[in-house]
Amino acid sequence: MRILVVGGAGYVGSHACKSLAHAGHEPVVFDNLSTGHAHAVKWGPLVRGDILDPSQLEAAFVAHKPDAVMHFAALAYVGESVQRPDLYYRTNVGGTLNLLDCMRKNSVGRLIFSSTCATYGQPDRMPITEATPQSPINPYGWSKLMAERAISDYCAAFGLGAVALRYFNAAGADPDGEIGEEHDPETHLIPLVLQAAAGMKESIRIFGSDYPTPDGSAIRDYVHVTDLAAAHVAAVGACVAGDLDVFNLGAEAGTSVLNIIERARRVTGRDIRAETAPRRPGDPPVLLADASKARTVLSWAPQYSGLDTILETAWAWTLTHRPEGVVS
């Protein structure tokens, strides 16, 4: 199949393109490169365009005639979403509506949507299943939930078949070293820890040491980006006309911030200086996925989501992409 990968120059999108190509599909990337990278587009053509411009989307559909769409294009900084909700609703909700309308116009009936566990907010019970009530606590989470709702309504009204994949903490890098995590600014824990190990940062901040967890630091569920990509490929065949189905994607294993830092010290052989800072508002003590539905329905079995593999692949990428002048 030919798959239009909207936002395919970004972190998860570029890994999905590699997995699509290896599965025999043809990825066509549509990206404005505001946060993605042209050098990460290696497995098909790059179409420069903005999801907020319907005419640019239409031109891509007409030129490439995709059989299905994967939708990764979004703004994704929680803190920024609080300060600039206008940007988040316009891009994440408005852009999704533009894409859905273009799919209808061009009779493209399959959509895989990149969603997030942020739609659940702060659940009272762990692990989180797909039936856990969704109650976001920031505009980013709300924008993703609104996009899910719009997709669901389009499915019911117009016969679209869609799958929404709710990620937990994406981490790691391509095991072959071809692509990896490149955010600016970087806000994710594991690349920040490894940047400190590489001498690119002086230290890592631990936000909160008094959570009701075994070591007092927050616990998260880290899933390797290559495993996320594999789930997207599997989801292409799971689209059912008239329906939106949803799946959690996580390793089903919780790891604390302090444990990440300690394991990173062992993997890298480097000292990593850590400083304690106050909790960030709205950070739950624990987020843990129940991904049993994806395992059963999509036959999805994570292969790379052991913590050492996540750290080893991300560390190799960090060393390869260290700025000049940083000591190896």
- The residues annotated as belonging to the active site are 140
- Total Cβ atoms within 10 A of residue 243: 15
Beta partners for residue 220, in sequence order: 255
The count of other CB atoms within 10 Å of the CB of residue 260 is: 24
Question: DSSP alpha helices (H): ranges in the chain?
Answer: 11-22, 54-64, 78-83, 85-88, 95-105, 139-158, 189-197, 225-236, 257-268, 292-297, 307-320
CA distance 52 to 65: 20
C-alpha separations of 87 from 82, 142, 174, 263 in Å = 10, 13, 30, 37
Asked if residues 132 and 118 have their Cβ atoms less than 8 Å apart, the reply is no
Instruction: Spell out the residues 6+ positions from residue 141 whose beta carbon is closer than 8 angstroms to its own.
Output: 78, 116, 118, 119, 120, 121
